[in-house]
């Protein structure tokens, strides 16, 4: 049996809710990893950054990023510094992050982007 699809995010995020609803409506079996309860999976962050890029993974337009002080925002210059900020402020991670059965990683949700995935 192929590995489980894992959706990472926070449960009260509207985009995460839409993604979970879509997967459920399609009858797709997946697991949900709640950043708030389970933390950010540190060991997976470098792979996510390699897969989608730092600029796509960090949501610099969201309220959490905007509330960070200038020094913290300016400190995000490379993978280690970005990982430190993402671990401390999980809501700066664009959501949802999905690791698909084939190991590919996507960020965000649209029905069109999910429809072509190996579920």
pLDDT tens sequence across 23-81: 999 999 999 999 999 999 999 999 999 999 999 999 999 999 999 999 999 999 999 99
- Take residue 57 and report the two structure tokens written for it: 């993974």
Mean pLDDT of 85-111: 95
Q: Has 13 been annotated as catalytic?
A: yes
pLDDT of residue 76: 94
pLDDT of residue 77: 93
* 45 closest CA partner among 28, 33, 29, 37: 33
Question: Domains of the chain (ranges plus CATH)?
Answer: 5-115 (3.40.30.10)
* 93 closest CA partner among 23, 16, 30: 16
Please identify which of the residues 10, 13, 93, 98 carries the catalytic annotation.
13
Provide the pLDDT confidence category of residue 94 given band limits of 50, 70 and 90. very high
């Amino acid at each position: 049996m192929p590995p489980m699809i894992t959706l990472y995010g926070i449960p009260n995020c509207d985009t995460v809710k839409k993604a979970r609803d879509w997967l459920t409506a399609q009858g797709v079996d997946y697991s949900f990893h709640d950043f708030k309860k389970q933390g950010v999976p540190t060991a997976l962050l470098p792979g996510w950054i390699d897969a989608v890029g730092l600029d796509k993974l960090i949501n610099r337009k969201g309220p959490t990023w905007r509330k960070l002080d200038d020094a913290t925002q300016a400190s995000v210059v490379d993978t280690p510094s970005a990982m430190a900020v993402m671990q401390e402020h999980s809501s700066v991670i664009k959501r949802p992050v999905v690791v698909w059965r084939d190991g590919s990683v996507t960020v965000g949700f649209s029905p069109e982007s999910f429809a072509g995935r190996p579920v």
